[in-house]
């Protein structure tokens, strides 16, 4: 007996190692930092982030950001805040050059992959 066909979309594929995706919870992290760690929030104001596995890459236009976030006390505060928001333990990196946003919209990438499979 065969199983009935359904029109459900295919299961999303896992991210490839090293593949960046927008860190959607970044604004929630910044919001919590504004209350708990205002100096750190101020340095990160206007920043964006992407995730690559367990790494959060932060793009920040503030020239002091890299040195500030690399200080152990601030790095630990930021990692703990990310954990509180996402329930994930992460490593931090400061994005050097280019744009921290993924190069393409994730839905556009999924559509391209689907076309490739046809």
List the domain range (segments joined by +) for residue 76.
Answer: 21-117
Q: How many domains does the chain have?
A: 1
- The verdict on residue 113 lying in a domain is yes
- The verdict on residue 90 lying in a domain is yes
- The verdict on residue 80 lying in a domain is yes
pLDDT score of 100: 44
Report pLDDT digits (tens) over 40-76.
999 999 999 999 999 999 999 888 899 999 999 999 9
- The verdict on residue 48 lying in a domain is yes
Beta bridge partners of residue 49, listed in sequence order: 58
- The verdict on residue 2 lying in a domain is no
Which H or E run contains 2? none
CATH number, position 107: 3.30.300.180
Alpha-carbon distance of 58 to 61, in angstroms, equals 10
Q: Could you tell me the pLDDT band of residue 105, with boundaries at 50, 70 and 90?
A: low
Mean per-residue pLDDT of the chain: 81
Who's near 110: CB < 8 A, 6+ residues apart?
A: 12
């Amino acid at each position: 007996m065969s199983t009935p066909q359904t029109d459900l979309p295919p299961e999303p594929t896992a991210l490839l190692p090293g593949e960046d995706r927008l860190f959607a919870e970044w604004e929630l992290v910044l919001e919590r930092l504004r209350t708990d760690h205002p100096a750190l929030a101020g340095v990160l104001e206007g920043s964006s982030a992407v995730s690559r596995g367990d790494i959060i890459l932060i793009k920040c236009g503030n020239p002091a950001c890299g040195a500030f976030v690399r200080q152990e006390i601030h790095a630990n505060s930021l990692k703990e805040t990310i954990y509180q928001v996402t329930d994930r333990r992460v490593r931090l990196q400061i994005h050097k050059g280019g744009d921290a946003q993924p190069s393409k919209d994730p839905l556009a990438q999924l559509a391209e992959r689907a076309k490739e499979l046809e």
